[in-house]
Amino acid sequence: MPTPPAKSHGRLSIKAAQKPRELLQDTPDIAGAWKAKVLTLYPEMFPGVLGHSLTGRALQEGRWGLEPIDIRLFARGKHRNVDDTPAGGGAGMVLRADVLGRAIDFADNGQRRADWPLVYLSPRGKPFTQQMAQRFSKARGITLLCGRFEGVDERVLEARQIEEVSLGDFVLTGGEIAAQALIDAAVRLLPDVLGNAESIEAESFSSGLLEHPHYTRPAEWEGRGIPEVLTSGHHAKVAAWRQEQGEALTKSRRPDLWAAYQQRIKPKK
């Protein structure tokens, strides 16, 4: 039986929402809880992986909320088109500014960007980082725009002050997978989702370094043992070993992170 949601979140928030509630059965909408609103042509893709494991349990307990919003509901005219051919010619289709503008305005509901970021998942956006995930998790919530086809009309990005974020130098068929990854990264930083604050503090990128190697039982596997320092019981030596390993891994695998880390710890004159 799921743990009751924390009372500090307040009462259930009741409002009309254009979303597929049948996909989010038994997930309470708690007023004051962090929420992700997702503008998408495929609301049935949610919660997807977010409905499982720690994020799924936290969703069921009302520690965070999810609201998929179907962009198609905001199309007008006889054919209710959400896209059109690109101006100037070219292959593919582009999501229309007028349709997206109405969908965004519905999702915004008067929220300030500082309190509630609006993000478009785009290959040309700023690279997504752990620091971004921390910033998003500290907001009241986030609205994510999932693109399709060749992208979205540039005018809506400018008019609605949309932040563009990229998961990496690759292209997906749509923004839904990227949106779920971003939400997962932010939700796991919310209070009481992981249940162990130390695991967040020690993981990769939190200190500017990649995380050290991990080991567990059995003590020997295929002729490989666990480093002796980890079984010594000497906490200071264990901490020093983990720091050294994190530095070595970062230096060899991510010279960009290593350079930034070196600059950060460099003594100020």
Going by DSSP bridges, is the β-strand pair 94-95/83-84 parallel, antiparallel, or unpaired?
antiparallel
Q: Which of 141, 168, 187 is the last residue of a domain?
A: 187
Residue-level pLDDT at 73: 97
Here the CATH number for the domain that contains residue 124 is 3.40.1280.10
Percent of the chain predicted with pLDDT > 70: 86
Do 175 and 53 have their domain in common?
yes
pLDDT tens-digit series, residues 51-93: 999 999 999 999 999 999 999 999 999 999 999 999 999 999 9
* 123-127, 148-152, 263-267: segment of lowest average pLDDT: 263-267
- Domain of 241, CATH number, reads 1.10.1270.20
Residue 229: give the domain boundaries.
Answer: 197-265
Whether residue 70 sits in one domain with residue 181: yes
Shared-domain flag, residues 138 and 177: yes
Residue 2 lies in a domain: no
Please give the single-letter amino acid code of residue 158: E
69 & 156 share domain: yes
Same domain flag for 84 and 170: yes
CB neighbours of 186 closer than 8 A, spacing ≥ 6? 34, 36, 133, 136, 137, 142
Same structural domain for residues 154 and 88? yes
Q: Which residue stretches of 82-196 are H helix?
A: 97-108, 130-138, 154-159, 176-187
Q: Are both 49 and 91 inside the same structural domain? A: yes
Same domain for 45 and 101, yes or no, is yes
pLDDT given at position 207: 81
pLDDT at 200: 59
Q: Is residue 126 part of a domain?
A: yes
Quick one: pLDDT at residue 197? Answer: 60
| pLDDT of res. 241 | 96
Token pair of 80 as six digits: 């209710």
Pairing of the two strands 220-221 and 224-225: antiparallel
Distances (CA, A) of 29 to 11, 16, 116: 9, 12, 17
pTM value is: 0.84
Number of domains observed in the structure of the chain: 2
Same domain, 218 and 170: no
Single residue among 187, 207, 228 that ends a domain in this structure: 187
Q: What mean pLDDT is predicted for residues 172-180?
A: 97
| pLDDT of the residue at 198 | 56
Residue 1 lies in a domain: no
- Alpha-carbon gap, residue 149 to 166, rounded angstroms: 16
Alpha carbon separation from 11 to 28, 33, 128, 148, 191 (Å, rounded): 10, 10, 33, 36, 18
Give yes or no: residues 182 and 208 share one domain.
Answer: no
Let me know whether 14 and 92 are in one domain.
Answer: yes
